[in-house]
Amino acid sequence: MSDTQLTVTLDGGGVDDARAIVRALEGVFGAPDGPPADEGATVRTATFDSPETPQAAQAPPRTAGDTLSAPVTVTVQGTPQAVEAASETLSRAFTARDDGAASGDQERERQLLLVP
């Protein structure tokens, strides 16, 4: 297990949307610190331990449970490799628009809009 983490913040949609997004990332990063569960929350966060060199997952066939009910803004933060792998994985699993990125010395942040 690595000391490197990937933080995913989800804004919009319901708890089922958040769970579908987290499931898409589990193939690359494993289980998060806990599944999104709060029905009343408007912003949800999941933290994953990131492997040293994460690779984007191929998108599994979509099922009815993977269709989003509303647009969700997803912000991913972590190492450049982890952010890139997460962004690619989500873009393969959902219809996504890249809403920008910011880079620091050793960390990157990217925002995606995932739409139904």
The model's confidence at residue 1, banded by pLDDT at 50, 70 and 90, is very low
Task: Specify whether the CB–CB gap between 29 and 89 falls below 8 A.
Answer: no
How far apart CA 19 and CA 109 sit, in angstroms, is 21
78, 4 in Cβ contact below 8 A?
yes
pLDDT tens figures, 42-81: 899 999 987 777 766 665 545 545 689 999 999 999 999 9
Query: Per the structure block, which two tokens stand in for 5?
Result: 């983490």
* 100 token code pair: 């920008």
Amino acid letter at 47? T
pLDDT, position 54: 73
Establish how many alpha carbons lie within 13 A of residue 102's alpha carbon, considering only the half-sphere containing its beta carbon: 6
Phi, psi of 7 (to 5 degrees): -110, 130
3-state secondary structure at position 26: helix
The whole-number pLDDT of residue 71 equals 96
If you average pLDDT over residues 12-40, what whole number do you get? Answer: 88
Query: Strands, DSSP E only, in the chain?
Result: 5-11, 43-49, 72-78, 95-103, 108-115
pTM (whole model) above 0.75: yes
